[in-house]
Every structure is written in C-alpha cells, then in structure tokens.
C-alpha cells in the first residue's frame, strides 16, 4: 500500500525513535517511551500496531496517550495505525529509564524508588528532595495531584514536592 509521504515502511526502531517525541499528557517532560508504556511496535501487513501498557489502572491519561501516539505517527505519514492494550506483564516504575528519572527530577518530581515493590518497602522509601537534594524528606499524603504521585515535603528547604510512587 502507498502511504502519504512514505515510500517504504519505516522500521520499528525508527518508529520507536519518533515516539520519543510523544510526551506523557500529565508529565510533559517525559515521553511515552521514557515511561516504558510502549511495549511493542510491529507491522501487520500494511498496518502498524503499537502495543501499549496502561500505567495505573485508573489513569485517565491512558486513552489520551493512545490517541497521541496515533496522531504523532499520522503526522509522520503512517496512515494505518492501531494501538493494542497489553495488561501483562503489568507495568512497573522500574521500567522508567535513568534519563527519564533525571528529567523528572529537573521538573520537580522525585523519581520512584527502584525495586521497592512490596508493602513494607513502600512505607518508608528514602526520597531525595528534587529541589535541594536533601534526604531529610517526609510524606505528607499518600495521594497527590495525579494517581501516580504522592505529596511529600523537604524538611531542609521546606518546599513541598510530588513523589512518583514506586509500583
């Protein structure tokens, strides 16, 4: 099939690179690739199938993310795109890459503690203040401005900040 502006099918690696420009709708400094939401890119005949995994089960951004992926690829000239939802393996914050963690910190959000995935560990992760780097921080509330964040504050610089919950 002929696609507008494209003479050959772009490779999955190329498409992945394009998706690095698609921001998360709630936290625009990180991309959907950074967050580990894109689980697969493959051609099924002349249709491109992008497999995405939802982050939090109640995240209202999930539908928007799928829509933005389709729109970004259409702008690149891929006309037939479909997104597929994959529930397993369940998304974990351990899939958020090093670079994305730095971007989150620079944006004022403390990145999720790594590997803290059982209840006992969730209670007291050591969280670095994204503003001043102090480790003297405390949780204000388990829930925050979006389903993925908790409210914290720094006891040194006294600034409140969001902590990206570790799951």
Partner 1 sequence: MTTAVKTDLAIFELALRMGDNALILAQRVGAWCGHAPVLEEDIALANVALDLIGQTKMWLSLAGEIEGRGRTADDLAFLRDARAYRNVLLAEQPNGDFAHTLMRQFLFDAWHHPMLLALKSSCEKRVAYIAGKADKVVRYHLERSEDLVIRLGDGSEESRERMQAALDALYPFAGELCAADAIDSELAERRIAPDLSGIGESYIAYLKRTLGEATLNAPWDAATRKGGKNGMHTEELGYILAEMQWLQRAYPGAKW
Q: How many residues bind partner 1 (CB under 8 A)?
A: 24
Binding of residue 143 to partner 1 (CB under 8 A): yes
CB 137 within 8 A of CB 150: no
151 makes contact with partner 1 (CB under 8 A): yes
Q: Is 25 in the site for partner 1 (CB under 8 A)?
A: no
Find out whether 23 and 33 touch, Cβ atoms under 8 Å: no
- Give 21 or 121: the residue with its C-beta nearer to partner 1: 121
CA distance 17 to 22: 10
Query: Containing H/E element for 151?
Result: strand 149-154
Which two structure tokens, joined as six digits, stand for 23?
A: 């921001």
Q: Check binding of 90 to partner 1 (CB under 8 A).
A: yes
Among the residue ranges 1-9, 28-36, 64-72, 88-96, the one whose residues contact partner 1 (CB under 8 A): 88-96
Binding flag, residue 58, partner 1 (CB under 8 A): yes
The CB-of-105 to partner 1 minimum distance in angstroms stands at 22
Closest approach, Cβ 94 to partner 1, in A, equals: 12
Only one residue has tokens 């989150």, namely: 104
Tell me: does residue 75 bind partner 1 (CB under 8 A).
Answer: no
Beta carbons within 8 Å of 150's beta carbon, 6+ residues apart: 139, 141, 142, 143, 144, 162, 163, 165
Q: Applying CB under 8 A, does 60 fall inside the site for partner 1? A: yes
13 binds partner 1 (CB under 8 A): no
148 by Cβ neighbours in 10 Å (0-12 / 13-18 / 19+) ranks as: buried
Does 165 engage in binding with partner 1 (CB under 8 A)? Answer: yes
Residues that bind partner 1 (CB under 8 A): 54, 56-60, 87-90, 92, 119, 122-123, 140-145, 147, 151, 165, 167
């Amino acid at each position: 099939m002929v696609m507008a502006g494209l003479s050959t099918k772009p490779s999955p690696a190329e498409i992945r690179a394009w998706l690095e420009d698609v921001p998360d709708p709630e936290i625009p400094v990180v991309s959907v690739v950074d967050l580990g939401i894109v689980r697969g890119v493959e051609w099924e005949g002349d249709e491109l199938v992008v497999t995405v995994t939802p982050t939090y089960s109640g995240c209202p951004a999930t539908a928007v993310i799928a829509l933005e992926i389709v729109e970004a690829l259409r702008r690149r000239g891929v006309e037939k795109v479909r997104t597929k939802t994959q529930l397993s393996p369940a998304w974990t914050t351990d899939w958020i890459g090093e670079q994305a963690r730095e971007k989150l910190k620079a944006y004022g959000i403390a990145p999720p503690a790594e590997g803290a995935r059982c209840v006992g560990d969730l209670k007291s992760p050591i969280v670095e203040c994204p503003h001043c780097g102090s480790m003297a921080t405390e949780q204000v509330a388990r829930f925050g401005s979006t389903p993925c964040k908790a409210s914290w504050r720094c006891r040194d610089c006294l600034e409140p900040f969001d902590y990206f919950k570790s799951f």
